[in-house]
Structure 1
Amino acid sequence: MLHEARQPSPAILVTHILAFTNDYKGSIGFVVRDSAGRCFLDKGKTCAGQSALEREAKAIKWAMKNAVENNF
């Protein structure tokens, strides 16, 4: 039996985090816009249990907190 070869999906380059959601279960999702201008809700998790967008948001939050504390 022959199987049709599938092309891998192109990587999505997220250019903007538009908003984030946090439901009553503590599940975090991000409304994002990709490089093609499409908006979608990302809830993808990595094997570490944290999405790349969550890590990015935490890094941005840390940088903003650090800037405020240091009067930048």
Structure 2
Amino acid sequence: MTNHRKIVLDYLMEETPFTVKQSFVDRIQEINEGYDEVPEEVIDSYRELNEYEVWEIIRKIACEGKRQNSN
């Protein structure tokens, strides 16, 4: 069974430059709009997530961004 949360989280962790404020929002928008740069697997997995799972991913990304920028 595919772990949709892991696919989306891994993609966002890898593709989000945490030093740019708007970057995370841009990555989510790219997934939502199905940009060509986003792998199909990520787009499909994101569509399978429920609201709770999306908020959990956002929380994890926010914590990582805070950790990286706390210096």
- TM-score higher than 0.5: no
**TM-score, normalising length from structure 1?**
0.40
**TM-score, normalising length from structure 2?**
0.40
Which has the larger share of helix?
Answer: 2
Which has the larger share of strand?
Answer: 1
Q: Answer 1 or 2: higher relative contact order, Cα 8 Å, separation at least 6.
A: 2
